[in-house]
Structure 1
Amino acid sequence: MSETPTPAPESPRGSWPLYEIFVRGKRGLNHVHVGSLRAADDRMALLNARDLYTRRNEGVSIWAVRSTDIAASAPDEKDPFFAPSGDKVYRHPTFYDIPEDVPHI
């Protein structure tokens, strides 16, 4: 009589870290956020992201970044956070002379 192997205990999915997934397409120059997923480790995050977000071979590079490692500004602080650049008028091109022969400016 053969014994059935006991499956290894798995950690519940809720305890897996959340990853943000960025994919660079074949025609793109930058990575674009395409979604989020939970995975047990970095390798699993990359494999699952490949299977989930590049099913039609549209990607050439994938970044899987733990959400806890991303520093972001808060949406409710957008006015005070970006306000300092408004008082630096030298950053605006209105003070520069643009030659006539320069197109598309």
Structure 2
Amino acid sequence: MKLKDFKQWLNTLSEEELEKELMYNAMDYGISGKISEINKSDENLYYVGDEPVLLHTRRELEQLGYSKPEIDGLDVEIPGGCYYVELSNEYSIIEKFLH
């Protein structure tokens, strides 16, 4: 969904509806919760398989010892300039897999 589509949909809601919490449901993980904030990534963000799940900028990966070819081989999880939501119950996801 593009932001303009989301904005158009929001504009159709009543003031009463706009006062409700924005929730998420991650069916793959069996969790749900409130969306606490929407972030904008100024740079590409990468995931390298660390636990807990963290996204890193290219500069952070270089500081962690990753080479340019290694970084270039990674998938960009969130492209620079895009908006994204971090789930507020991220630790409940981790706890779910630890038990």
Please, what TM-score do these two structures have when normalized by structure 1?
0.23
If you compute each CA radius of gyration, which structure gives the higher value, 1 or 2? 1
Please, what TM-score do these two structures have when normalized by structure 2?
0.24
Choose between structure 1 and 2 for higher RCO, CA contacts under 8 A separated by at least 6 residues. Answer: 2
